[in-house]
Amino acid sequence: MTRGNGQVWHRGENPSSKPRRLWSIVLAGGEGERTRAFIEGWLGYHKPKQYCTFVGTRSLLQHTMDRADALSRPEQRVVIAAARHRPFLPDQMRGREKGLLLFQPSNRGTAAGVFLGLTYILAKDPDAIVVVYPADHFIHPEGVFLDTVRQAVRVCEGIDEAVLLGVRPSAVDSDFGWIVPASGWPTCQGVWPVKRFAEKPTQAMAARARAQGGLWNTFIVASKLKTLWSLGWRHVPDIMPYFVELRDALRESQDRVCLEQIYRNLPSRDFSAHVLQRAARQLAVLEMKDVYWSDWGRPERILETLCGMGTRPSFSEHLALSAPRANNVSPLERSSQNDGSSQGRSPLLAGEAGHPEEREIPEDEGFPGTEAGGADSEARL
């Protein structure tokens, strides 16, 4: 069932029973360049996709916040947004507990967004468990998804690896990150060690990953805060001192001034390419099953999803059909080429196998290395 503001609320749920140390980080700072022309044609002005209501009454960001709040306390939700998007936020937050809303002065990549959120959580709860959610995904049904996240949280409480949520691919698509699980059996509760991670690989590499049981990366991560902080020092040590400086400024209530200062010189780093890809051996993966997932980074994915579910969108379909397309193929043509499955369709909906294939991956298979980056380091808290 849902609350009055549309939040997911399972029957019998007691909000006060949510894990005290569970925090959420919602990444909502993207500009949405690949959907810009489509949205401008629809609305008449630019609005990043996470703030748009493509169907129903809630935006992608509102859906994401409500999912996060179903598992952790709203006051322990950290939303990362861009400073230039500040005018969009009052409507997005209306009727919802604000939590912590942070505005990045400039775009310095997804790693900056993740570690900015972690810095503020670290100041309040160094022993936190954190779930990172991108704000531009379509997920259905939400109840099954939330059960999967709960499972990931339970697992990461007992291990020192970060747990990624992966989905069975419906196509060889180099637009996603690919997670190749290690061969053998899952370690616990369906979680597999990660053998390789490749962010936006070549088509040939993506085809090899799929043949070897690879999953698409959803960028949804459950982890101990200390684990992610340690991965930062190991793999992107050039940005971590900036966030230590910010943490120290928080103690003196000087964080706003400090935030502006550090973003002037903060190197731009991508969390998937510069952290996850290099940290594959410190990761685990849990496959999302019976869940329809789609990264709405392109207009054709939005239309594919809604057409596949028989849902009427809020926009005219010809706008998405006329938008710039991947590989010059229309959304409806791509849908038929994928045997009726949409981007990110789950095993239940796509009829794929339910478990990663147990095939050894040669070390010289052409995947990026996993141990590049800074020297081994403990979490420098």
CATH of the domain at 60: 3.90.550.10
The domain total for the chain is: 1
Query: What confidence score (pLDDT) does residue 222 get?
Result: 98
Q: What is the pLDDT of residue 367?
A: 54
Residue 96 inside a domain? The answer is yes
Q: Which residue has the higher pLDDT, 356 or 224?
A: 224
In a domain, 91, yes or no: yes
Q: How far apart are the C-alpha atoms of 368 and 201, rounded to whole Å?
A: 9
Residue 378 included in any domain? no
Q: Report yes or no on 355 lying in a domain.
A: no
* pLDDT number for residue 185: 66
User: Is pLDDT of 5 > 60?
Assistant: no
Over 300-343, what HEC string results?
HHHHHHHHHCCCCCCCCHHHHHHCCCHHHCCHHHHHHHCCCCCC
The residue among 92 and 378 whose pLDDT is bigger is 92
φ/ψ (deg, to 5) at 80? -105, 115
- pLDDT over 60 (residue 288): yes
In a domain, 354, yes or no: no
Note the pLDDT tens digit of each residue in 58-94.
Answer: 999 999 999 999 999 999 999 999 999 999 999 999 9
Beta bridge partners of 139: 293
Q: Is the pLDDT confidence value at 17 over 80?
A: no
Q: Is residue 381 part of a domain?
A: no
170 confidence band (pLDDT: 50, 70, 90)? confident
CA distance 174 to 172: 7
**pLDDT(321) > 60:** no
Average pLDDT of the segment spanning 113-121: 98
* Angle at which helices 225-235 and 240-251 cross, to 10°: 130
pLDDT band at 285 (very low <50, low <70, confident <90, very high): very high
What local confidence, expressed as pLDDT, does residue 299 receive?
86
- pLDDT score for 314: 76
Phi, psi angle pair for 22, to nearest 5°: -90, 125
What is the three-class DSSP state of 232? helix
Print the domain residue range for 98. 19-348
**How confident is residue 311, by pLDDT bands cut at 50, 70 and 90?**
confident
Q: Encode burial over 184-215: b for 16+ CB neighbours within 10 A, e otherwise.
A: eebeeeebbbbbbbbbbbeeebbebbbebbbb
Residue 177's Cβ-count burial label (10 Å; 0-12, 13-18, 19+) is buried
Using an 8 Å Cβ cutoff, are 104 and 263 in contact? Answer: yes
Interval 104-117 mean pLDDT = 97
Average pLDDT over residues 318-347: 43
What's the token pair of residue 115? 């570690």
Asked whether the predicted pLDDT for residue 332 surpasses 70, the reply is no
Report residue 131's pLDDT band, with 50, 70 and 90 as the boundaries. very high
Percent residues over pLDDT 70 in the chain: 77
Q: What is the mean pLDDT of residues 149-173?
A: 94
- Kindly state whether residue 365 falls inside one of the protein's structural domains: no
CA–CA separation, 69 and 151 (whole Å): 16
Please give the average per-residue pLDDT across 373-377, as a whole number.
39
Residue 306 pLDDT: 85
Provide the pLDDT for residue 119.
98
Of the listed ranges 116-125, 128-137, 196-205, 359-368, the least confidently predicted one is 359-368
Task: Report the relative pairing of strands 191-199 and 283-287 from DSSP bridges.
Answer: antiparallel
379 assigned to some structural domain: no
What's the mean pLDDT in 40-58? Answer: 92
Q: Do the Cβ atoms of 263 and 106 come closer than 8 Å?
A: yes
